[in-house]
Amino acid sequence: MNFTILRFDSVESTNTEAAAQARQGAAEGLCVIAEQQTSGRGRQARTWISEKGSGLYFSVVLRPKFDTRYFPLITLMAGVAVHDALEEFGIRPDIKWVNDILVNDKKIAGILAETVDSPDGLAVVVGIGINLTSRNFPDEIAETATSIGSETGKTCTADDLAESLTPFLSYFYEILSGPNGPADIIAAWRRRSTYFSGKTVRVTLAGEVVEGDTDGLEENGALRVKISDGSVRIVQAGDVERVRPNG
Ligand code: BTN
């Protein structure tokens, strides 16, 4: 993939900007990076706190050629790429289904993939937020979030991170687009995530909470959760929390 990077001082959301670019015909590989987002978005309509210079706020336009039923794997593919980019900075992350990159159970990065209808067909915007410093964390996330600065004691710029991230994105996207793409990405995700199987989790679905043990992924990346009666629930979308043995 050839990357073209558009840099902004401030945007509402790099995903919104990249989606607008995709609607205007931007080619695959168009990236938007901003110093700051004024309305950074997370999954489930949450806010992604995006203070100036505190994180990498990055979105890339993809124009996948594979079947839309595998589009959910794009989030997993991006998670694998972020995981490996963070390793280059000396961090050993975990990936919590579906899109949370964790270090010692604290969130360091998140991914928000959104489909966009464009005159050139369906595009996918993959938004990635990675915390560079914990300095500006508001109280509500101070206990549950971490950053490259906190984990390594070193400073790293958004540009350093983007430079490390883009080759991994390109590499794993090629794999996902290849003949055995879905299985290969699931295998790559499995090697990097303790959530793949045997993890006791509570999953919040629309209007329902399910507790059980993770039991692998479906071929489209949906999470399998084995509940106490032995049946398996297939989770296509939901929030996963780890359940610790004593509570
Ligand atoms: C999540 O964990 O809920 C997903 C967070 C995704 C945040 C990134 S920051 C760059 C891009 N622009 C956004 O508005 N969101 C994503």
- Digit-coded pLDDT (tens) for 135-188: 988 888 889 999 999 999 999 999 999 999 999 999 999 999 999 999 999 999
CA–centroid distance, residue 113 to ligand 1 (Å): 8
CA–centroid distance, residue 245 to ligand 1 (Å): 31
Q: Under a CB-based contact definition with an 8 Å cutoff, are residues 81 and 3 in contact?
A: no
Residues 115 and 52 in one domain: yes
- Digit-coded pLDDT (tens) for 52-106: 999 999 999 999 999 999 999 999 999 999 999 999 999 999 999 998 999 999 9
Residues 117 and 226 in one domain: no
The band of 244, judged by pLDDT with boundaries at 50, 70 and 90, is: confident
What is the longest distance spanned by two Cα atoms in the chain? 53
Residues 36 and 86 in one domain: yes
Residues 140 and 230 in one domain: no
- Digit-coded pLDDT (tens) for 197-235: 999 999 998 788 999 999 999 999 999 999 989 999 999
Residues 134 and 201 in one domain: no
Give me the domain span that covers residue 234. Answer: 197-242
Note whether residue 62 is domain-resident: yes
* pLDDT of 110 over the 80 cut: yes
Q: What is the pLDDT of residue 205?
A: 85
Note whether residue 71 is domain-resident: yes
Residues 118 and 203 in one domain: no
Residues 30 and 49 in one domain: yes
Q: Mutate which of 5, 41, 146, 240 to test ligand 1's pocket (most atoms within 8 Å of Cβ)?
A: 41
Mean of the per-residue pLDDT values of the chain = 95
Structural domains counted in the chain: 2
The CATH number covering residue 82 comes to 3.30.930.10
Residues 42 and 100 in one domain: yes
Q: What is the pLDDT of residue 3?
A: 97
The CATH number covering residue 214 comes to 2.30.30.100
Residues 204 and 88 in one domain: no
Atom index in ligand 1 nearest the CA of residue 42 equals 3
Residues 123 and 228 in one domain: no
CA–centroid distance, residue 126 to ligand 1 (Å): 9
Note whether residue 247 is domain-resident: no
Q: What is the pLDDT of residue 246?
A: 63
pTM here is: 0.96
Atom index in ligand 1 nearest the CA of residue 39 equals 14
Q: Mutate which of 44, 54, 98, 112 to test ligand 1's pocket (most atoms within 8 Å of Cβ)?
A: 112
Atom index in ligand 1 nearest the CA of residue 12 equals 14
* pLDDT of 247 over the 60 cut: no
Helices 72-87, 158-177: inter-axial angle, 10-degree rounding = 130
Q: What is the pLDDT of residue 100?
A: 96
Protein residues with CB under 6 Å of any ligand 1 atom:
13-15, 37, 40-43, 46, 48, 57-59, 99-100, 110-112, 127-129
Q: What is the pLDDT of residue 26?
A: 97
Residues 233 and 124 in one domain: no
Q: What is the pLDDT of residue 34?
A: 98
Residues 41 and 125 in one domain: yes
